[in-house]
Amino acid sequence: MKPLHLNTPLLRAAPGQFSHPEVWLKMDALQPSGSFKLRGVGRLVRKAAQDGAKEIVCASGGNAGFAAAYAGQALGLTVTIVLPETSSAAVQSLIEARGATVLRHGAVWDASNEFAQALAAERGATYVHPFDHPLLWEGHASLIDEVLDQGLDFDAVVTAVGGGGLFAGIVQGLRRHGLNDIPVIAVETEGAASLHESLKAGQAVTLPAITSIATSLGARRVADEALRLAQLHPTHSLLVSDAQACGAAARLAEQMRVMVEPACGAALAAVDVHPELFARFKRPLVEVCGGVAVSLEKLQAWTISA
């Protein structure tokens, strides 16, 4: 059965785009959902439809919600998305344009998630988690399949980390192809670093609050599977500032005419912020994960305020 997501372009960064001489970009910002989320969410929603679901409920800061709305519309399901109060009106409008009902609950995603789970149980609907489900990870792993099919001999994968679903999928993708020695560089912004703090503590840590502008990275606690894989697989946990993430997103827009959220900018920024690490690698691959909560006006505002 044809997947809902696209096989997105794999592009070599232009000369001078990064300080590193050869960086490759997996352009998941060009997914029809605006982000990588459709890879996993599409698989999870399709499975729900195959199992007889008529309605799905998802709590999201925006990207997973839009992906769920896109998938639900494609498969003829009723969709309810629960957004935290901090999500923008523009994101709500995008989701509603895909035929979904949007509810607002809670100041942070954690509160939205509790509400969404209770709502799904009350309605007998299928709950779609935005980052913590095996089918999500399996779907996200498809990006590694595509890069290998295109013949790229990469020696590191760079990804932003929020709840950890994308990270878990990338690690699973590498390991199922026997690439257990290729490290994953897991990048978070300061103030949204649940994986970084958990790795330091040697156990799952729940952040007291999210203080980063990169709200798409705003899971106060990373998925247990993501932490397990980060402890098992060669992983470099890096931090960048909000200003560095926003600056990298602005440079991508200028150089490649593609806009992404600060959360995605974090992965792009890491290449230049941590050159001592990247000097070890000949051909790093950056997952350009995208994001729907971006506009020209917002990109300019983020860059000024960060």
Mean pLDDT, rounded, for 130-153: 96
pLDDT of 203-223, one tens digit each? 999 998 888 888 777 788 999
Q: In whole angstroms, give the CA distance from residue 230 to residue 228.
A: 5
Mean pLDDT, rounded, for 104-131: 94
Q: pTM for the complete prediction?
A: 0.95
Equal fold, 10-36+135-305 vs 37-131: yes
Q: How confident is the model at residue 306 (pLDDT cuts 50, 70, 90)?
A: low
pLDDT of residue 260: 96
pLDDT of residue 223: 93
pLDDT of residue 295: 87
State the CATH architecture for 10-36+135-305. Answer: 3-Layer(aba) Sandwich (3.40)
pLDDT of 15-32, one tens digit each? 999 999 999 999 999 999
Mean pLDDT, rounded, for 252-275: 96
Mean pLDDT, rounded, for 271-279: 98
Judged against a pLDDT cut of 70, whether residue 305 lies above it is answered with no
Q: Which fold has domain 37-131?
A: Rossmann fold (3.40.50)
Looking at residue 245, its amino acid is A
Mean pLDDT, rounded, for 128-153: 96
pLDDT of residue 202: 95
Say which residues have a Cβ less than 8 Å from residue 234's Cβ, sequence separation at least 6.
180, 181, 182, 183, 184
- When the pLDDT of each residue in the chain is averaged and rounded to a whole number, the result is 94
Rg (CA), the chain: 18
Return the percentage of the chain with pLDDT > 90, whole number: 86
Angle ∠(108,262,174) on CA atoms, nearest 5: 95
Judged against a pLDDT cut of 90, whether residue 262 lies above it is answered with yes
pLDDT of residue 39: 98
pLDDT of residue 61: 86
| Three-class DSSP category at 204 | coil
- Sketch the domain layout of the chain as residue ranges: 10-36+135-305, 37-131
